[in-house]
Amino acid sequence: MTTRFAFLRLFFALLLGTVSISLTGCGALVVGGTAATTAKVATDRRTAGEQVEDQAIELKTAAEMRVLFDDTARVNAMAYAGHVLLTGDVPNDKAKQQAEEAAQQVEKVQKVHNQLRVGDKTPISVRSQDTWITSKVRSSLINTKEVPTRTMKITTERGVVYLMGRVTEDEAKRSTIVASSISGVNKVVRAFEIITEEDLQSGRYSSSESSTEDNAKSSNAASDEDDSGVESIPLEI
């Protein structure tokens, strides 16, 4: 019995060891596969420095808005590559101008896109709907081929969807069409930095401003309307 018991213990020990090795191997395979996929998909076309700066810009701008308005206004700031998009509600035109000037003074800010609305604060019910729209747009863009969602920022105000990012002309068009197709979207406003296919292949977009002229040409294009009837407006970059 003692010999048999010892044999069974050895058998189960070997069995557990084999299972453990197999699971470890599978785990490594899954992690490796995930890492490979992530490396391919999760690419932000901003440099690491730009990403850190944008986070700091958003925090500093939010702090400035709290000092300026306290509870009298609702100002949201979204930054991408030094460009700041202001959305929300302010009580009057003077407050709108003050918000823009304060944002422009924040360190590393290159340009401010002032899309603030003058009027009463948007009701929570509308803001909740906007949040839902943003999540739907993001989800739809993620499921769209050849749309670099990991290098884009999205927000919604009263059914108006704002898109920011560093994209090619084709990527901008695809993104606009997808966003326009979401229920509840009234308008799509593009604050894209347009880059060329050559920039994309070479990676120059991350450290130079070689596409500035192209950006101006693209951003100054007339407003258009897609098949869904949703207006699409480019902001000057």
pLDDT (tens digit, 9 = 90+) per residue, 191-232? Answer: 999 999 888 888 776 543 333 333 333 333 345 555 556 676
Q: Please say if the pLDDT value at position 28 is more than 90.
A: no
| Buried/exposed 217-228: b ≥16 CB within 10 Å, e otherwise | ebbeeeeeeeee
pLDDT of residue 151: 93
Tell which wins on pLDDT, 1 or 150.
150
Domains of the chain: 45-116 (3.30.1340), 122-237 (3.30.1340.30)
Confidence of residue 46 (pLDDT cuts 50, 70, 90): very high
